[in-house]
Amino acid sequence: MRRLRCVDVLVGRVNVTFQVPQLGELELLHTELSLGGSWSPQSCTARHRVALIIPFRDRQLHLRTLLSVLHPMLQRQLLHYTVFVVEQVPVLSLNAQSCSVSLVVK
């Protein structure tokens, strides 16, 4: 059976609290998420698919705050979304003498 498309209607307010839960608490709060940070509405087919890429580097408090507000907001919009948290790696300084390029000519 084919599901109907979701209607673009927002009802009610988004409750924003600045009490930042721990990562384990976030998992318990959002059990509706699929493995890998995806969600899609069950009652209808989402009109839009969204990928969010969040660069992360040593700011766990900010990440937890963002995710605790972001998931309810996106679910209220009935979007099919996936959140990717990408950890940034510090840039390594390269010494020019330690790098050698060898060319083989035949």
**Confidence grade of residue 42 (pLDDT, cut at 50, 70, 90):** confident
> Is the pLDDT score of 22 beyond 80?
yes
- First vs last C-alpha separation in the chain: 64
> Is the pLDDT score of 103 beyond 50?
no
Neighbours of 83 (CB within 10 A): 19
Q: What is the pLDDT of residue 106?
A: 45
> Is the pLDDT score of 97 beyond 60?
no
Q: Whole-angstrom Cα distance, residue 73 to residue 21? A: 17
Q: What is the pLDDT of residue 84?
A: 92
Q: What is the pLDDT of residue 48?
A: 86
**Confidence grade of residue 82 (pLDDT, cut at 50, 70, 90):** very high
Work out the mean pLDDT of the chain and round it to a whole number.
79
Q: Give the side-chain half-sphere CA count within 13 A for 23.
A: 5
C-alpha distances (whole Å) from 58 to each of 38, 67, 87, 92 are 23, 15, 9, 17
Domain ranges of the chain: 23-87
Beta bridge partners of 60: none
Reduced DSSP (H G I as helix, E B as strand, rest coil) percent helix, strand, coil of the chain, to 5: 25, 20, 60
